[in-house]
Chain A
Amino acid sequence: MNNNLNTESIRQLLNHSSAQLGQPTLARLCDARTQALARYDARSTTPVFAWAGSTSTSSGHTTGSHRSQYYWAAAVLFVALLFSGATYWQHVIEHDNSDVDIAILTDDLPIDVYVE
């Protein structure tokens, strides 16, 4: 194997100014930087939904359909939490009323008196 790249030559290569790079190389580097920044922005704007799955396509951009899926999933979860909480709360209320209900039903006045 040809070992022409000694320490000195590597130092010289690293010290090359960007001005010395060719135009196509500079353009490719610029594209890569732009893509990396775009991917970073997309990730940082959707941190809440990151747990639900990847938000990036192969090009690195979040699509509208993906985002709407996460909104739907979050909405379903929210509604389920509300429903579950309401059911539990109603159960607690009904449980607390059983004593009063027994008292009404066993009172010497008919229940019609208390019902409009």
Chain B
Amino acid sequence: MLRLLTPFIVAALLCLPAMAGAEAWTELTPMQQEALAPLSKDWDTLFKKQQQHFLKMADHYPTLTPVKKERFHKGLVAWSKLTPEQRRRAREKYQAFSKVPSEQREQVKQMVREQEASKAASSVPPVMPAH
């Protein structure tokens, strides 16, 4: 009987790392909490694998400039809500864009900034004239 159960026991042991519980927000270090602050509300709902990935990213946080830290915080929630496939495509696009010559890259960036600005302007409701 024990010999028959052996494969099941081995299988359960093999699956242990994947089934291990996620890390609670309160167990993170102050530095990790600061880096991942925008995720504090949703942290406990994330899978362990996702948490580990964000913790790896948080390791880089202290080396960032204040501007980059702000950008990091700004995009973190949106990034956490993407599907793995969307993230994979975004990485591919970013890596492809990084290989474009810097002049062309700047032109594209300028174009994107203008589009963003016009989009923001059109979303502002027109001010009604006072009677």
Binding site for B on A (CB under 8 A): 51-53, 69-70, 73-74, 76-77, 79-81, 83-84, 87-88, 90-91, 94-95, 97-116
Contact = CB atoms under 8 A, between A and B. Distances in A.
Nearest to A79: B11
A107 B109 CA distance: 11
Contacts of A97: 53, 87, 91
Contacts, number: 113
A77 B7 contact: yes
Interface residues of B, number: 41
Contacts of A114: 89-91, 93-94, 97
B7 A101 contact: no
Contacts of B56: 94-95, 98
Contacts of A107: 71, 94
B64 to A, nearest CB: 6
Given A53-B3, A76-B7, A101-B91, A94 B79 contact: no
Contacts of B79: 101, 104-105, 111
